[in-house]
Structure 1
């Protein structure tokens, strides 16, 4: 049961990589259609998927040879779902990238959607779910041991485990987001999109700032990561 709770915590930590509240050139192997916003359609979504998915799967096989690299990319059409995208695993360990229809309304062009898609695929390629689960479990164990050694009762130990798991899950969260931005840049670039144009998405969403144990780094740092990565490409 506790491991199940940790899995939910990890999912919450890595979910919302591009969660938003709406507020008011690379060489290619074939011509790329780039819709210009605001908002994309389901046809636009499928077009971007058709270009990004094979590149992400090749990158996955190259960097994470023992991982399941058969990506499933889906659109959540529930109108109540907020603007968001996230990566999870299904019961068979297949990586699933989910995008809400509200997010399609927020992005302004194919480049932004492709960058976000590459970012989410990068979380799987880099093994961020399993790495976060491990640090969360370590934090929970250490928290429980510490409070137990200090004479805490069962409730205090349970609370300490919860706090330790949260701290553990968040310990490297910002680093993982920047890692995913770097690899997402590579993926979207090789899919024929412009990651710099895609990263302009960060200029329109609320900036989380550099919060202690925050789940996401400042938007400016993410854009700079894309710029530095592009310089190597």
Structure 2
């Protein structure tokens, strides 16, 4: 079941129960600026419509994946103004999946296809258990690197720094693969919800291209767009 909740993300960990669903507030516009007000209202309506169509499909794909995870997605909105566009997936203390979006992203997408693809992508991270897998690789990296340093006779502070560095390296080892996996499954979710994920992936063309940096967190934008095209063609 979905819930739309304006939320400050620093309070996420403390939340157990959430209020009844509400439409995320539109960004405040200056008095008399009807064009901005209308644009904000359209963005809010579009967001609600995409949630209502994509979230049930994401839950169905989650249940069909036959993994032991909570598939009851909660949609939350960061209503702080003037934030850079952002969306991410996390879980609360009870393991319930959270798909979080801020107003910057909701108002920056150019169409419902882009928003649906982003929502499908974030849901896919949960279905594919990327948070758990990233934690596993981070733990492995921390143990290995700190162990190597400790065997060399380093002091406690150096071992601690090596542990932190190893965790960071471990967490990033498969992050590009995770993003591409989420792009593939996100394509499926968006398409099954009735949207065009290839058109939605045009969102990448407006993002800074991370390139193919060593231990970077995201793959090149062109590779991500091609991944979406291939996944859509295979449907």
- The answer to whether TM tops 0.5 is yes
Larger Rg over CA atoms: 2
In 1, the alpha carbon distance for the partners of 2:90 and 2:135 equals 13
RMSD over aligned CA atoms reads 1.4
Unaligned runs of 5+ in 1: 1-36
- Corresponding residue of 1:31: none
Q: Is the contact made by 1:39 and 1:104 (CA closer than 8 Å) also made in structure 2?
A: no
Instruction: State the shift of 1:38 in Å.
Output: 10
Higher mean C-alpha displacement, 199-208 vs 62-71? 62-71
The separation in 1 between residues aligned to 2:185 and 2:77, in whole angstroms, is 22
User: What is the correspondence of 1:1-233 to structure 2 with a 5 Å cutoff?
Assistant: 41-233=43-235
Count how many residue pairs are aligned between Structure 1 and Structure 2.
197
Secondary structure of 1:75's match?
A: strand
- Separation of aligned partners in 1, 2:70 and 2:213: 33
Separation of aligned partners in 1, 2:109 and 2:90: 22
- Identify the residue that residue 13 of structure 1 maps to in structure 2: none
Specify which structure has the bigger relative contact order, considering alpha-carbon pairs within 8 angstroms and separated by 6 or more residues.
Answer: 1
CA shift, 1:80, in A, is 4.0
Normalising by structure 2, we get a TM-score of 0.81
Instruction: Tell me, in whole angstroms, the C-alpha distance in 1 between the residues paired with 2:127 and 2:44.
Output: 26
Q: Partner of 1:7 in structure 2?
A: none
SS of structure 1 residue aligned to 2:75: strand
Q: CA deviation at 1:151?
A: 0.7
Structure 1 distance, partners of 2:231, 2:179, is 14
Q: Residue by residue, what CA displacement relative to the aligned partner does 1:80-121 show, whole Å, maximum 9, x if unpaired?
A: 432100000001100000001001122100000000000000
Aligned pair in 2 of structure 1 residues 116, 40: CA closer, same or farther (>3 Å)? farther
The CA deviation string for residues 170-191 of structure 1, in whole angstroms up to 9 with x for no partner, is: 0000000000000000000000
Displacement of 1:48: 0.3
Deviation at 1:40, TM superposition (A): 5.4
